Amino acid sequence: MHKKKGYEEYIDLDDILEELKRSKIPALTLDIRWQAIFNTEDKSAKIAKLEKKVNEALKSRGRITTDKKDLIKVKKRLMNEIVQNMNSPENTRADKKIKKSKELIEEINDKLILLEDEELDLPSKFDEANAELALESMKEIFDKYEENEEDIETLEEWIEETRTELKQRVALLHQKKEDNEKMDKYLSDLIDGDIIRQYKKYREQE
């Protein structure tokens, strides 16, 4: 239920979950965009658990469809056998076969009823599992998005500071090169080159 918190409407997480169920989202685990985000090595345990729940619901749907087809196929074969042997005398092999076929058909009908009941429950089970996965996916996406936004802000600040520092260091580099050129020219103009070379050797041997 929506509650009032002051003048602002309070949003209940259960309400969002119910909205997700009603919205009939396609199976997330089959969506390549969802897979691109969540099929990674650092997938959370909760996402993995809910993913398994959705996949189990999908497998159940496939299993029920296959089982129903197989049972209907067997039932059709048994009914054909009954029709072929329906005029057989009592207590003959064919008559016994008809009775056995009827028993098997009754068993098949019971199994088909159970499968249909299970099939009726499947949509709600799938919608619930898929909605839970969608809600957790949203949570993790928003968490990651907000974390990335903080990192982006930090990185942008670092880049700006680094850019400023780089400019300062480049300017300092040029200044020192200019200073060295000036001092080198001054010494070259003032003192004989042989004396300068001797002094350099003297400094190197120290």
Question: pLDDT by residue (tens digit) across 115-128?
Answer: 787 777 667 788 89
Residue 160 covered by a domain? yes
Residue 3 covered by a domain? no
Q: Report the range of poorest mean pLDDT among 37-51, 62-76, 174-188, 191-205.
A: 62-76
Residue 25 covered by a domain? yes
Residue 23 covered by a domain? yes
Residue 22 covered by a domain? yes
Residue 18 covered by a domain? yes
Residues for the chain: how many in total? 206
Domains of the chain: total = 1
Going by the DSSP 8-state scheme, the letter that residue 29 receives in this structure is: G
Name the pTM for this structure.
0.62
Residues 130-143 pLDDT 10s: 999 999 999 999 99
pLDDT above 90: residue 5: no
Range of the domain at 79: 13-164
Residue 180 covered by a domain? no
pLDDT above 70: residue 155: yes
Residue 31's region, left for phi above 0, alpha for psi from -120 to 50, else beta, is beta
Residues 55-79 pLDDT 10s: 998 888 888 888 888 888 888 888 8
Query: Which residue pairs, CB below 8 angstroms and at least 24 apart, start in 28-34?
Result: 28/54, 28/130, 28/133, 28/134, 28/137, 29/54, 29/55, 29/58, 29/133, 30/58, 34/137
**Residue-level pLDDT at 1:** 43
Task: For residue 119, give the nearest of 49, 48, 51, 71 by alpha carbon.
Answer: 71
Residue 86 covered by a domain? yes
